[in-house]
A and B are shown apart, each in its own frame.
Chain A
Amino acid sequence: MTVSDQLSELRADFPSCEIAAFADLSSGMILSVSADKKLPQELLDAFCAEAVSALGETEASDSLPAVAVRATPQGFLVFLRATSYAAEALCLRCGLGIDLRTFTDAARARLSRMEQDA
């Protein structure tokens, strides 16, 4: 299953997940994205910059966060760092009503599958 398929399946499981993206933090690029509509590049760049700010930039280090969550009244941003290559991350935006723990656990499992398939 492709990364794109995995992202789409995650969003299908959690309809309030508006954007699911796979990013390379070292280059600051979104590599694959799933969303209801085509997103402008500026938004994707800003999304990736937010992930870099939350997780830290690049190489594997125990001192870098593995999970970062940021929430405001507008919704949640959830960032999960890949375990096999620390510069890659899953970046998610979802509504405020989501069950944060269930969603984060499912996203972590999905990221593990992506890493196994890679």
Chain B
Amino acid sequence: MSDESRLSAKLSRLRGSVRVLPDGSRELFAVPPDELMVALLQEIDETVLARRLSFSTDLGGKLALDVSNRRLRVVRAVEFRAATADHREIVDMPLEQPGQTELDLLRDVFDAFLGGATSLRVRSDRVAVENPAEIVGCAAARMAAAWDLDLYAATEFDEEAMFEAFSSAAKPLSIAWIEARSSETATGGEAGDLDLLEEIGDQVEWEQTDEVIGQGAIEAYVRVLAFDEKGTGIVEAGLSDFAIRLLCAPDRGLEIAGLFQRGVLARL
């Protein structure tokens, strides 16, 4: 990959999908699980000096990796609900010359750590390692190649995939939903709840997504209408030709809007 495209990818990430937190750690947002995996590998690939990368997900899982020269040298902590005894065996195991067995185990560990997560925090701390200049460990690029991931793919807006990822995550948080994809519509939920969604929806027109913002930018929006502390609210989200309305408790409304914020708006 050229320096220019690497820089372009980096800038794309910085534009919206990364947030720096007050303690100096960074939060990376993505909904499709492969993107978080790529983000994790990119962190390894961008670490030249000896550092301990402490990752945590929005689900509470923790993973600590000692990294230098863009290579994973040792897994230091594996703390998440789906962790198995096999996963924990890799902790403190030197990965100087990792073979296929170690690569498979690492993939299993990372998959289990990221499963279901939509954001990833990373904190980088100095760590002492023996012979830090020595080129040993499992290179991020090697892991990416073995797992068929493109570390620095150009950012493309696959609108349908982005919308699908959001709506799949949002529907379980709702009571009922109506989804429109181009000319097709689908619904989910109990009949009474769908009636209520339509009744509330009749009072509020759907947003129009045909308005052009800027130079041909994709228009996307989310809006939340919460009616009271105990009542129900609606969330409506749209991206290009796709739109969904969800009936939900007011607290869920902001949660669903947050999913759209991190999964779609922050990436445009």
Interface residues of A (CB under 8 A from B): 54, 62-74, 76, 96-97, 100-101, 104
What is the bound-complex CA distance between A100 and B250, given in angstroms? Answer: 13
Q: Are B225 and A68 in contact (CB under 8 A)?
A: yes
A97-B266, A101-B258 as given contacts; A67 in contact with B250, CB under 8 Å: yes
Stretch among B62-70, B80-88, B185-193, B212-220 lining the A interface: B212-220
Q: Determine the main DSSP class of A at the interface with B.
A: mixed
Interface centre among B16, B227, B268 (most CB of A within 10 A): B227
Contacts of A66 in B (CB 8 A): 226-229, 250
Q: Are A63 and B203 in contact (CB under 8 A)?
A: yes
What is the bound-complex CA distance between A100 and B256, given in angstroms? Answer: 10
Q: Are B265 and A54 in contact (CB under 8 A)?
A: no
Which single residue of chain A is at the shortest CB-CB distance from B20?
Answer: A97
What is the bound-complex CA distance between A96 and B268, given in angstroms? Answer: 11
Within the complex, what minimum Cβ distance (angstroms) separates B42 from chain A?
Answer: 20
Q: Are A104 and B227 in contact (CB under 8 A)?
A: no
- Mark interface residues in B208-241 (1 if CB within 8 Å of A CB, else 0): 0000010001111111111111010100000000
Q: Are A71 and B227 in contact (CB under 8 A)?
A: no
What is the bound-complex CA distance between A47 and B144, given in angstroms? Answer: 47
Q: Are A73 and B225 in contact (CB under 8 A)?
A: no
How many contacting A-B pairs (Cβ < 8 A)? 72
Which single residue of chain B is at the shortest CB-CB distance from A65?
Answer: B225
B260 at the A interface (CB under 8 A): yes
- Mark interface residues in B242-268 (1 if CB within 8 Å of A CB, else 0): 000000001001110110110001101
B123 at the A interface (CB under 8 A): no
Those of B123-175 within 8 Å (CB) of chain A: none
B76 at the A interface (CB under 8 A): no
Within the complex, what minimum Cβ distance (angstroms) separates B209 from chain A?
Answer: 10
Within the complex, what minimum Cβ distance (angstroms) separates B202 from chain A?
Answer: 11
What is the bound-complex CA distance between A96 and B203, given in angstroms? Answer: 27
What is the bound-complex CA distance between A104 and B203, given in angstroms? Answer: 24
Q: Are B217 and A73 in contact (CB under 8 A)?
A: yes
B181 at the A interface (CB under 8 A): no
Task: For the A-B complex with A70-B222, A73-B217 known, give 20 more contacts whose Cβ atoms are closer than 8 Å.
Answer: A63-B227, A64-B227, A66-B226, A66-B229, A68-B223, A69-B222, A69-B223, A69-B224, A69-B257, A70-B221, A71-B223, A71-B257, A71-B261, A72-B265, A73-B213, A73-B218, A76-B261, A96-B261, A97-B16, A100-B261
B13 at the A interface (CB under 8 A): no
